[in-house]
Structure 1
Amino acid sequence: MSTRRTIAVVVLVPLLAALALWAFAWPAARTAPRDLPLGVAGPAAATAQTEKQLRQHEGAFEIHHYADEAAARAAIEDRTVYGAVVVTAQGPELLTASAASPVVAQLLQQAVGRQAVASGAEVRTVDVVPAPASDPRGAALNSSVLPLTLAGIIAGAMVTFLGLRGFRAVTALVVSAGLVGVLAAALAHSWLGVLTGNWWAEAGTFALSSLAVSAAVAGLAALVGPAGIGVVAFLVMFLGNPFSGAATAPQLLPDPVGTIGQWLPPGASAALLRSVSFFDGAAAVGPVLTLTWWAALGLGAVILGNALKARAKGTTPATQRELTSVG
């Protein structure tokens, strides 16, 4: 038995290390725009050349057409596009939103700037929705994803190992997630000042993000045992975090990594936090539904697992009595 365990350690540890390196390093090494939503505003005749130049970056941009600068600004504020090139009589103007992704804003400045230099024009850049001055690179928001994931895993594991069942487990998970939300908002918004939206909306986002993970951990553990903790932890830590696009944007990750990441709690959490903090809740429906489904299914699994165990315990004595009477 000891030999088997030794072999398991020798084999599994390098495999897990290789998997972790792949999950975290591969998307980072392949960062590039892939169908990145970008607006072009102005009369069709004036924007034709700009669109032609942008389409030379094959597969990089998903072009959206707008009549004027006001429409392009509205699209950025609604999170329909990450930026827009406005063609004016004075020359091209680039609208960005560093709050949506500082990396994308810089990428657009480089791409559009190179085209402008080649054509002899000068581009004026306007940051329509700027990142807060206390976190211009979005590092604090990106750093919030991992702690929320860890908090959820720990809460779900504690509920499992402390033997909480049914509605007691549900209550513990919901209350702990609520406290996580309040504390996280107090730190990120009130103390550090890296979030600038509605305080309670941010607290609710933190709470829902933590609950989505903790409920999934406790729910799967209630159905399949402690192994469920490892399964969910692997899914949200090894895949959810590197696939979240929190540090860059989902459209900068290799396909289908960016899409998969938005189906997992870390990616949905980062997207929702940006929406409620900087964009007045624009484009928040999708992430809210994703996190809500994770939380609801997890809590439902907690109750179902408890019911199945209670039923099994209730039928076993009856079965034994029946066998005894037959004997």
Structure 2
Amino acid sequence: MSSATPPAGTSPRKLIAVIVLVPVIVALALWAFAWPASRTAPRDLPLGVAGPATAVSQVEQQLSQREGAFEIHRYADEAAARDAIEDRTVYGAIVVTEQGPKLLTATAASPLVAQLLQQAATAGAPQGTQVPTADVVAAPAEDPRGGVLNASVLPLAIAGVAAGALVTVMGLRGGRAVVALVGAATLVGIVAAALAHSWLGALSGDWWTEAGALALSTLAVSAAVAGFAALIGPAGIGIGALLVVLIGNPFSGVASAPELLPQPAGVIGQLLPPGAGGSLLRSVSFFDGAAATGPAITLAVWALAGLALVLIGARRRTAPAGNSPAPANAPQPAPVG
């Protein structure tokens, strides 16, 4: 009997690579998704305190018992605390009044943070005391828990990866690749806004601004994936997908808040397109664009850098073809006559 032989071109290194890489990717995915979820807790969470100086000091002492949990911001009165919440400077505020403490929250910023602040305010109040709560910036009634916004991060990331991969596989280069990426991202933004805003009612801001934020988030991903592929070849698609889907998605903090994730996951997530895109969408949809500058710049940098790599990669491929000398053994034309 003849022993089976591996197909031509198959090397042991390739077999070992497949056997080793798959468990590594699984371990990376489990770590990226499970680690932040199992370590969710407030870390320097911006929280306002307003009222008379003496009473505010007592509240600060109570909050400081949870070391490193809150970043306290003092305000003169309730109106100033409300303005800070609407500007996305703090997630909420405890206002000390003559009748007792009062809690201000913003479920549109993070329903989970609002719940944690209610627990913290109740724990600091006398036993049996009910702390009145006012939702300064409430989440839409159709999506009070922010489920639609949370669920939109992964589909947008997948759409961006798919667009970047298709542009690479179809061989689009240079200006054509840029047009394809921008056009696809624009349509994705319009479709996503139509679903999330018009149909599901989960967004409540300006429709076209929301569509632009969704399109920019998609373009940041697709341009990065296509740029990596133009720079290092098809392997760039895998690198872009791993960076955005396996790292950017669980580190985005959209389902909770960046300050609730273990560090440096929260910081890294805001520097990647999924986290920056989620923060931008919250700002333009619920807070009239407050604190939108930082996430918008982050997404623009990713998009412009990716498109630049696409153009550079196209020039690198065309330049040798146009400037290479003729082969030495190329046939010479016969002399006339």
TM over 0.5: yes
Determine whether 1:16 maps to 2:28: no
1:200 to 2:200 alignment: no
Counterpart for residue 74 of structure 1:
83
Structure 2: unaligned runs, 5 residues or longer:
1-9, 333-337
Q: Distance in 1 between matches of 2:17 and 2:173?
A: 33
Rounded Cα–Cα distance in structure 1 between residues aligned with 2:28 and 2:166: 27
Equivalent residue, structure 2, for 1:133: 141
Question: Which aligned pairs between 1:288-299 and structure 2 lie closer than 5 A?
Answer: 288-299=296-307
Cα distance, 1:80 vs. partner? 0.2
2:309 maps to 301
Tell me which residue corresponds to 1:52.
61
Deviation, 1:48, is: 1.1
The amino acid that maps onto 2:211 is: A
Gaps of 5+ in 1: none
Aligned AA (2:148):
A
How much is the aligned-residue C-alpha RMSD, in angstroms?
A: 1.6
Structure 1 residue 195: Cα displacement: 0.4
Q: Structure 1 residue 174 and structure 2 residue 173: aligned? A: no
Distance 1:49 1:320, change over 3 A: same
- Which amino acid in 1 is paired with 2:76? A
- Structure 1 residue aligned with 2:40: 31
Amino acid at match of 1:144: S
Measured after TM superposition, the shift of residue 22 of structure 1 is 0.4
Amino acid at match of 2:59: T
Q: Check 1:65–1:165 CA distance in 2 against 1; reply closer, same or farther (3 A cut).
A: same
Rounded Cα–Cα distance in structure 2 between residues aligned with 1:105 and 1:289: 27
How do 1:102-113 and structure 2 match up within 5 A? 102-113=111-122
> How many residues are treated as equivalent by the alignment?
323
Closer, same or farther in 2 for the Cα pair 1:221/1:122, shift >3 Å? same
* Higher gyration radius (CA): 2
Cα distance in 2 for residues equivalent to 1:324 and 1:264:
54
SS state of the match for residue 117, structure 1?
coil
Match of 1:245 in 2: 253
CA distance in 1, matches of 2:314, 2:192: 31
Query: Cα 1:70–1:217, aligned 2, differ >3 Å: closer, same or farther?
Result: same
Distance 2:43 2:321 in 1: 54
User: Separation in 2 of the partners of 1:324 and 1:112?
Assistant: 87
Q: 1:204-215 alignment to 2 at 5 Å?
A: 204-215=212-223
Q: 1:91 touches 1:122 (CA, 8 Å); kept in 2?
A: no
Q: Report what 1:98 is aligned to.
A: 107
Q: Between Structure 1 and Structure 2, which shows a larger proportion of helix residues?
A: 1
The offset of 1:192, in angstroms, is 0.5
- Matched residue type, 2:71: E
Amino acid at match of 1:248: S
Query: Do the aligned partners of 1:92 and 1:122 also contact (CA within 8 Å) in 2?
Result: no
Structure 2: how far apart are the matches of 1:321 and 1:76? 73
Offset of residue 18 of structure 1: 1.1
Deviation at 1:6, TM superposition (A): 3.3
After superposition, the C-alpha distances for 1:50-90 in whole angstroms (9 at most, x for unaligned) are 11000111000000000000000000000000000000011
Deviations 1:79-134 (A, max 9, x none): 0000000000111000000000000000000111111134x643111110011111
Residue in 1 aligned with 2:124? 115
Matched, 1:146 2:154: yes
Distance between the aligned counterparts of 1:324 and 1:62, measured in 2?
A: 77
1:160 and 2:175 are equivalent in the alignment: no
Report whether the alignment pairs 1:236 with 2:239: no
Amino acid in structure 1 at the alignment position of 2:27: A
Give me the whole-angstrom Cα distance separating, in 2, the residues matched to 1:165 and 1:321. Answer: 30
User: 1 CA distance for matches of 2:167 and 2:219?
Assistant: 12
TM-score, with length taken from structure 1? 0.96
In structure 2, distance between residues paired with 1:137 and 1:117? 29
Q: Which runs of 4+ in 1 moved over 3 A?
A: 1-6, 319-325
